[in-house]
Amino acid sequence: MPTQIYDAVIVGSGATGGWAAKELCEKGMKVLLLEAGRKLDPSKDFTEHVWPYELRYEGLRRSQELARQQPIQRRCYACDEYSGHFFVKDTENPYTTAEGKPFSWIRGRHVGGRTLMWGRQSYRLSNYDLKAASHDGFGMDWPISYEELAPYYDKVEEYIGVSGSYEKLPQLPDGKFLPPMNFTCGERLLKKAVDKMPGRRMTIGRVAMLTRDHNGRPKCHYCGHCERGCTTASYFSSPSSTIPAAMASRNLTLEPHSVVHKVLVDENGKPKGVEVVDELTGQTREAFGKVVILCASTLESTRIMLNSASRRHPNGLANNSGVLGHYLVDHIYDVTVMGILPNLAGKPKQWEDARNNGIYIPRYRNLGAREKDFIRGYGYQGGSGRGMFPAHARLMPGFGRDFKKIVRENWPMPVALYGFGEMLPRYENFVEIDKNRVDRWGIPVLRITCEHSDNERAMVRQIVADAQEMLQAAGAEIVQVNDKAAEPGLGIHELGTCRMGDDPQRSVLNKFNQAHDLKNLFVMDGGAFVSQGCQNPTLTMMALTVRACEYLVEEYKRGNL
């Protein structure tokens, strides 16, 4: 039987891999989509409607299995007994870090990747982000502007469905929105206070969850546990949206259980496919394509390229610049101020934990005059509302009927702000191959060196001060402050390491996500980011992918790849 050579081989089936498959298949290309893990069965694997008493450990993160097999993954709020099977086993997927510089790499290996677990917050970058270096002199501008990217944001939002409200803010461009979700009473108080402050605005979160039926998918029914799966496909994930569209074209071949080790090259050093290790058997095979597209996630795609070192590519694939693996960033995360709103305390009239969305306060620092202590900026997510679980009960006195009564009638109204700040892209934050360690499949693992700088530490101090100011202006009593940013990685917004740019000596990819050194190699995930902004990045990754695929198809037709 002759070896099949596909028009394109895509590695990774998450947010960008699904979009790449959809775009190329609908344009008539024959595509092989490789996924390292299994294909999930929503009827068995999704647990959004399962009650705690139905689980062995009542859904807690401290279960014995999680502690033993997933010591890193369980640091993510979404990795518990309900959804731990969406996350990798750290015992099978190790990596190493530089001494004194911890990094938590949160991963999912299954068809759809982290689109099953992500928070679906969907914000556009602006020219404040894409041209940040021109504004403050640090780093390098993106090789594209917001005006170039806007039509692709439009296309992605119109297809996946993003609910939100229009604000007309230059630092947070509006999109193509479904009707917004509603604020809670506590959030209305907060918005009233925030909007009075110069330059600040509070809006409802822009989120890839449907508030009305859209593209054959039903609107959200507000069960409140999106990280556990969505049997109605009311949130965006690639298995419920882009991959079925690619399948409908009859041009897609999907192969799960396919762990990609490296990119294969011909005698001229040109990519011709990938080497694949079967996840279940450990057997090795080869898959061939005229174009190779890496969508395996920021660090995994870079790991594949570094592991693809050969005589013709001694420093890793497409690394003539020497910057492959460098400029790693993750958002400042877990900087939190929490309070209670005394005037809204009392017996709850409704539960407010079913809306899996919150509020958003866009960046307002360093848009005009420069702050003296730091460059770039931050935004806030958060919200207010009572949940069904009475966490405050342990602080209440009493016993029996009287105790139950005081718990019900003195229910506090919590309110919280969580800062998300930009981490500067610095050469000294990087990944490399650790040749002394391999994963379960015998593939050399990454060694990660990453830490925050003085700029991030100064930003954290202002994030906390501003959050306290806004909550107190809303009448809140501050009850908890966390002024220590989580270690990099826990924001799960790792970006960079394979950045795009106009200069091949300072970047790996061109402005169409195509390798400068190898015209038939594309990287369409977060690795391509030049800088980060403070917005959640997945929407931008998808828009870049659609733009790159448009270019790829035209170049393929011309015979340039």
Mapping DSSP onto H, E and C, the string for 315-352 reads CCCCCCCCCCCECCECCEEEEEEEEECHHHCECCCCCC
In which residue ranges of the chain is pLDDT below 50? Answer: none
Q: Show the beta-strand stretches assigned E in 423-467.
A: 430-438, 444-449
Q: Show the beta-strand stretches assigned E in 406-466.
A: 414-421, 430-438, 444-449
Distance CA 26, CA 35 (A): 20
| Tokens at 325, concatenated | 């693996």
Which CATH fold topology does 1-112+236-324+429-450+494-530+544-561 show?
FAD/NAD(P)-binding domain (3.50.50)
| Tokens at 331, concatenated | 């958002």
Cα 308 to Cα 11, 221, 371, 404: the distances in Å are 14, 46, 43, 63
In the chain, count of helices (H) and strands (E)? 12, 18
Distance CA 470, CA 381 (A): 13
529 contacts 537 by C-beta, under 8 angstroms: yes
Q: What is the pLDDT of residue 51?
A: 87
Here the contacts of 52-57 (C-beta below 8 Å, separation 24 or greater) are: 55/81, 55/82, 56/81, 57/81
Domain extents in the chain: 1-112+236-324+429-450+494-530+544-561, 174-207+332-421+451-487
Q: What is the pLDDT of residue 354?
A: 85
The backbone region for 188, taken as left when phi is positive above 0, alpha when psi lies in -120 to 50, beta otherwise, is: alpha
Q: Any idea which residue has 């449907």 for tokens?
A: 210
Distance CA 95, CA 338 (A): 34
Query: How is residue 178 annotated by DSSP?
Result: E
Question: Helices 185-194 and 454-473: crossing angle, nearest 10°?
Answer: 110
| Tokens at 470, concatenated | 């806004």
Q: Show the beta-strand stretches assigned E in 483-546.
A: 521-523
34 contacts 276 by C-beta, under 8 angstroms: yes
Q: Any idea which residue has 């299994």 for tokens?
A: 38
Q: What is the pLDDT of residue 61?
A: 57
Sequence-ordered alpha helix ranges (H) in 10-82 = 15-26, 42-45, 64-69
Nearest to 493 by CA among 191, 76, 137: 76
Q: What is the pLDDT of residue 52?
A: 84
Give the 3-state secondary structure of residue 508.
coil
Please report the sign of the dihedral spanned by the C-alpha atoms of residue 183, residue 187, residue 188, residue 193: negative
Give the 3-state secondary structure of residue 357.
coil
Q: What is the pLDDT of residue 132?
A: 98
